[in-house]
Structure 1
């Protein structure tokens, strides 16, 4: 499934729709080059989950936990860019424990974070020269059955 997102507001709306369908135990991996819209998408996901706190790129702290609204699911937002494939630092974050009670979104997590669960969704973002974002969803495990039922903007 591919979607065109012509503006940052459309990227936020897409994230909001995805976030509203997330539940504890969900793992979402965001893939795409710098400037593709991963953090903007995560802001939308957080809004859809109803979590509190400002959502910004956790590049220098690696992970931020955003508490759940009432009712809701907490969001753990991870930026694996600085890890450079060092899986020991990813292990130190103890994400498998967080995954039991939170939705976990990992920017730059492809190639490392998918080992946290057999059930995960890869969201690939691409930025065209005209600034339109192209989003492609790649479901794994139980996500294959869930993706067709998602009501996503696009």
Structure 2
């Protein structure tokens, strides 16, 4: 039987400013918090624009130390199209690396795992190709910001 292996096509890099975490508290699943997502640049071969302020990441830090991201935000493209994104995934690493990150130290993203699966809701037209593929993302978290690299699975 033949086997097909998926490939990756780079779509964009995004950088966003983040607000201070808003603690929600301890729950049966772990500790919950909300992090506001503000504006930032989006640059790539197929899409350019800005993160549209007003989104948030509703995070859960599980008892095993894994942070589950569930972010909803939007991109406003350079040609004024608004694209909604729901980006879900996982961030974890050695406790000492995560402690450095939480204290505000800039940590090399190769020292921890931060991967997500963005889902796009784009209007019919130039960007409706975003509705028709699976995407993966690698991320880096900084004191008051985030960097995301997004690929389309081919």
TM-score by length of structure 1 reads 0.26
- Structure number with the higher strand fraction is 2
- Report the structure number with the largest CA radius of gyration: 2
- Structure number with the higher helix fraction is 1
TM-score by length of structure 2 reads 0.26
